[in-house]
Amino acid sequence: MSALTPAFTTFTCLFLLAAYFSPNVYAADDFDIKTKAGSKVCVGKICDDSNAFYYFECCGQIYDDCCLKLQTWVVIVLIISAILILLGAIGGIIRCICCCDR
């Protein structure tokens, strides 16, 4: 077990506690993570059905195109995954720099 593991675990726990107890920036009405279901009807076009991972919205200058959008929970999972991968890479680089002579 490296010396960075307890520090990283402590930092992660403190970060999660701070995020949990911090005041909500968004009101419950402003932040909607419900899955958007069904199919949209745009000008002259019916969009495909949505599923658990994506949905369609009308877009374009006169809202005549169907644009694919990711569900909110998918975006959140992708952001958290990217942050964890980035933190792991930074931790690996720091470990390599600090502990290479052992």
Please report which confidence band the pLDDT of residue 5 belongs to, taking 50, 70 and 90 as the band edges.
Answer: low
Sign (positive or negative) of CA dihedral 17, 22, 28, 33: negative
Please report which confidence band the pLDDT of residue 83 belongs to, taking 50, 70 and 90 as the band edges.
Answer: very high
The answer to whether the CB of 68 falls within 8 A of the CB of 49 is no
Between CA 95 and CA 26 the distance in angstroms is 37
Given a cut of 80, whether residue 46 has pLDDT beyond it is yes
Between CA 34 and CA 26 the distance in angstroms is 15
What's the mean pLDDT in 60-85?
94
Report yes or no on whether pTM surpasses 0.95: no
Instruction: Pick 25 or 83 by higher pLDDT.
Output: 83
Domain positions in the chain are 34-70
Half-sphere exposure at residue 27, Cβ-oriented, CA atoms within 13 angstroms? 2
What's the mean pLDDT in 42-58?
91
Among 36, 19, 32, 1, CA closest to 83: 19
Residue 85 has what pLDDT? 97
